[in-house]
Structure 1
Amino acid sequence: MNRRRFLQTTSVTASGLLLSFSVPARNAMPAAGFSPNALLRIDTDDTIRIILNKVEMGQGVWTTLAMLIAEELDCDWASIRVENRVITGPHLDESIFALSTGGSDTIRSEFDRYRMTGAIARTMLVQAAARRTGVPAAQCRTAGGYVLAGTSKLSYGSLASDASRLPVPRVGLRARKDWKLIGRSPLRLDVPDKVNGKTQYGIDIHFPGLLTAVLERCPVFGGEVRSFDASGALRIPGVRKVVQVPGGVAVVADHTWAAMQGRKALLIAWNFGEIKNPDSTELIGQYRQVAGQPGIRGQSGGRCKPGMAACRRDF
């Protein structure tokens, strides 16, 4: 595999090796500057931390992306720790390192990047072990988070500081036949924290002055509020204000429970407009009626039929 352009920033800290990386996707044009898209950190206690720029929303990317790095890093899976957080520092572009998830493209876009990062880190650790022991790097091998150099067995954490001082090496990726993790289904890394309540969601965030609002929406699409009585809602302890908004009424309160109780106490008269009292049978009948009418042409261009007739081969 041809070497891709890397930005590697290593630093020696009390924790060990800090490795940031950016690997352009295959066939990507060289950019004027590079910005890290993930961070791999190996602590002196052999903990391996992978900080991701993809948000775990139940689709399993925390585990899968960690597997990609671990496959090439050849580490102990139990030593992996994964987290999402905004990364700051003199070598990092926060506008690029934004937490995001969308388009079902996490693995498609990151498959080679993350494996390459693990391969580079493993090679640097092997080189560090070779320098320390005097055993040629070609005669060293890795297994379960250790470098085996002759009679020496050196943990990744013990080599982290030395490895951080080395230049970026040229590396290749393991062949599919040599994969040990990719293609398997290990226990997901995000599940324990979700089960024990440690995971923080947006709804868990609180800061001074934060209020909660809930909406009572019109039960009919396109309907509006004709009038409402907020007196009952305002008697609920914790309710601050009741406000009419397009399509409904909002109850603003000190916390979720008060807001929800205030919403239950609202008295609202709705204007359903043309829909009146729709039901599924009525709507299906309307759909069938519309389906039997001539459609509306949204766009017309080109000469499809002559073009198809002139084709030498149909697919």
Structure 2
Amino acid sequence: MHFDPQVVEAARSSMPKNLLALMDRAQGATDSGADDAIDGAGGFARRTFLKVTAASGFALGAFPLAATAQGAAAAAPAGLKPFEQPSAFVRIDADGIVTVTINRLDFGQGVQTGLPMILAEELDADWSKVRSVHGDANPAYVDPAFGMHITGGSGSIKNSYTQYRELGARTRAMLVGAAAAQWGVDASALRTSNGFVVGPGGKKLGYGALAEAAMKQPVPEKVVLKDPKQFRLIGKPTGRLDAKAKSSGRQDYGIDVRLPGMLTAVVARPPVFGAKLKTLDDSAAKAVKGVKAVLRVPTDRGGEGVAVVADGYWAAKQGRDALKAEWDNSG
């Protein structure tokens, strides 16, 4: 399978400079070999094309950035995997706002609320101050059961329930540790309640005031989770975090993103896994106003598809609809 150097160069000439820089940097890091062969002097490797097109939306700002990393003093235990470390999932601002990064897409099934609720339960956070953002392509945001980025199969809560409980419990332990250090008392003498660490005599410190110090605390590998009888969020009537924005039309979706020089690609995929193109007539697609390039691209399980790149979704879709493709399903 080969990418036509002319259409590749045409696509590159219309791409934003920062996307080109990402592709060139990724190209420099690719291994040599047949699978990474470069199509033409101005082209790029097949694997690089997939890697960068998958990641570029995040790098260009289509999704919120992940939570800020912990300070250098807060080294996570070697036994913790990336998806078990609070630094990638929890950000606490000075005003006490807790932002939870979710490892799924929300298609209306409610994980934008459900996963933060699970974490907030163990964290003992003030629910009125909890927010959520989507994660990116970072390995921390893979499905812990499958080890890949995936949303589907009713697996969001099933596979991440314990994960998010433990993330909340680890964050809570670090906040308690920071308060204990500040007050000079044993952590066992402290408790948490609704966004505060409560000490002897009823004195309190808010999570926002403790956040910076807490992120320098050691990350506990083992944590004790709540008895479900203690739950105050899980299983209780709780408003969705995204309800207001979605019901008022203020929610931004991927299709709403507009960036300078941004292009949109849609892919014509084979009818079965592994199928390759036998013939392709893309002349009508290229004639659609706004279409910049038509590219043959690898798809899942060794298959082949056709990406239509245009200056907007509608032009890209019309271009895809105009393709005349015949597929070889024998492979």
TM-score class, shorter:
0.5 to 0.7
Unaligned runs of 5+ in 1: 1-8, 23-29, 216-229, 244-250, 267-315
Q: Offset of 1:12 from its aligned partner?
A: 3.4
Q: Does 1:197 align with 2:256?
A: no
Per the alignment, residue 145 of structure 1 pairs with: 195
Q: Normalization by structure 2: what TM-score?
A: 0.53
In terms of fraction of residues, the more strand-rich structure is 1
Q: Alignment identity in percent? A: 38
CA 1:145/1:19 → structure 2, altered by over 3 Å: closer, same or farther?
A: farther
Letter aligned with residue 190 of structure 1: D
Is the partner of 2:204 in helix, strand or coil?
strand
In 2, the alpha carbon distance for the partners of 1:214 and 1:240 equals 13
* Aligned twin of 1:302: none
The 5-angstrom pairing of residues 74-113 of structure 1 reads: 74-86=124-136, 99-113=149-163
Q: Matches of 1:171 and 1:252 in 2, distance apart?
A: 49
- Which runs of structure 2 are paired with 1:216-295 in the superposition (5 Å)? none
Higher relative contact order (CA 8 A, sep 6+): 2
Q: Which moved more, 1:57-66 or 1:122-131?
A: 122-131
Amino acid at match of 2:71: V
> Structure 2, unaligned stretches of length 5 or more?
1-67, 269-283, 295-307, 323-331
Alpha carbons 2:74, 2:218 under 8 Å: kept: no
Aligned pair in 2 of structure 1 residues 106, 46: CA closer, same or farther (>3 Å)?
same
Deviation at 1:56, TM superposition (A): 0.6
Please report how far the alpha carbon of residue 239 of structure 1 lies from its aligned counterpart in structure 2 after TM superposition: 7.0
Q: Which has the higher helix share?
A: 2
Q: Alpha carbons of 1:18 and 1:78: their partners in 2 closer, same or farther (altered >3 Å)?
A: farther
User: CA–CA distance in 1 between the matches of 2:167 and 2:309?
Assistant: 48
**Secondary structure, counterpart of 1:12 in structure 2:** coil
Residue number among 261, 268, 271 corresponding to 1:208 in the alignment: 261
Match of 1:248 in 2: none
Among candidates 222, 233, 249, match of residue 181 of structure 1? 233
The answer (yes or no) to whether the contact 1:240–1:252 under 8 Å persists in 2 is yes
Does residue 164 of structure 1 match 2:209?
A: no
**Cα offset, 1:72, TM superposition:** 0.6
Cα contact 1:127–1:137 (8 A) shared by 2:
yes
Cα RMSD after superposing both structures: 4.7
Q: 1:124 to 1:259 in 2, by over 3 A?
A: closer
Where does structure 1 differ by over 4 angstroms across 4 or more consecutive aligned residues?
17-22, 92-99, 203-207, 211-215, 238-241, 251-262
Aligned residue runs from structure 1 range 19-58, under 5 A:
34-36=81-83, 39-58=89-108
8 A contact 2:264–2:316 mirrored in 1: no
- 1:86–1:98 Cα contact (<8 Å) kept: no
The aligned amino acid for 1:126 is V
